[in-house]
Amino acid sequence: MINKYKAICLDLDGTVYRGNEVIPESLSFIQQLLERGIAPYYVTNNSSLTAEQFKQKLGKMGIETTADHIMTSAIAAAKYCKEHFPNATVKMIGEEGLHEALSDEGIQLTTDAPDVVVVGIDRNITYEKLAEASLAIQNGAHFIATNGDKALPTERGLVPGNGSFVKLLETATGIEAIYVGKPEPYLLQYIHEKGYRKEEMVMIGDNYDTDILAGIRFGIDTIHVEGGVTSAARVLEQVEQPTHLFTHLLDAITKKV
């Protein structure tokens, strides 16, 4: 059934890999797609890495791709900023992935009186960074968040994600951020603009609240795979259902629906 799609959009952590370990069924699924001449897109809320760094990470797992087939929340945030606030100066909280994405769009970065504040995950966050961002937002800067993921899974357990810092800034300023990452549809929109029709696209992921809702909101088919964030039982409780619910990705090739 997967042959009907031309733009297969795969979530990464929990769908393609877990941490630094590839999920075997997903690796086999991707290899079969490539043998059929289909190069999937990789769609992630992680704003910390550049597209090239994600490409290298996937390469170490035996997955060959190109940087232009990787869509991160950092890339989407930079595109959104360029589209909606042209010629704006930007103050960013974030890491290398966000810095490169903004620079690639020709956006001028500043620390003084910015027009826009863009907040991505920053594992070297400080009180001063948050204070400066808060003051800039209160002084009229537009407020963009790469994503709203409140917690991140690690070997030690759940730790604060970008959404936790964004909520802190929203509380301090009384201003809600513009969220770009999943479940908002912007990452999929920018893939759509590469020349695909919506009926040619499918979003695949393990997290109902981000991956599946992003696809539903954008109006494309969705496939939920088990073994990640959201259990099949919880998915079945939702009002809006994914197009398909599979145990693992290989079902998308072997099952006829």
The C-alpha atoms of residue 191 and residue 201 are separated, in whole angstroms, by 9
Name the catalytic one among 11, 122, 149, 211.
Answer: 11
Question: For the chain, which residues make up each domain, given as ranges?
Answer: 2-45+182-254, 74-179
Name the catalytic one among 13, 122, 211, 251.
Answer: 13
The string of DSSP codes covering 72-101 is: EHHHHHHHHHHHHSTT-EEEEE--HHHHHH
> From first to last of its 257 residues, what are the pLDDT tens digits of the chain?
687 899 999 999 889 998 888 999 999 999 999 998 999 999 999 999 999 999 999 999 999 999 999 999 999 999 999 999 999 999 999 999 999 999 999 999 999 999 999 999 999 999 999 999 999 999 999 999 999 998 877 667 778 999 999 999 999 999 999 999 999 999 999 999 999 999 999 999 999 999 999 999 999 999 999 877 788 889 889 899 999 999 888 887 776 55
pLDDT at 155: 65
Tell me whether domains 2-45+182-254 and 74-179 share a fold.
Answer: yes
Alpha carbon 13 to its chain's center? 10
For residue 191, what are its two tokens?
Answer: 């893939």
The C-alpha atoms of residue 209 and residue 186 are separated, in whole angstroms, by 15
The C-alpha atoms of residue 222 and residue 161 are separated, in whole angstroms, by 25
11 in active site: yes
Hey, which CATH number is domain 74-179, 1.20.1300.10, 3.40.50.1000, 3.30.1280.10, 1.10.10.1100? 3.40.50.1000
Phi/psi at 221 (5° precision): -65, 155
112 in active site: no
> What dotted CATH number matches 2-45+182-254?
3.40.50.1000
The C-alpha atoms of residue 171 and residue 176 are separated, in whole angstroms, by 9
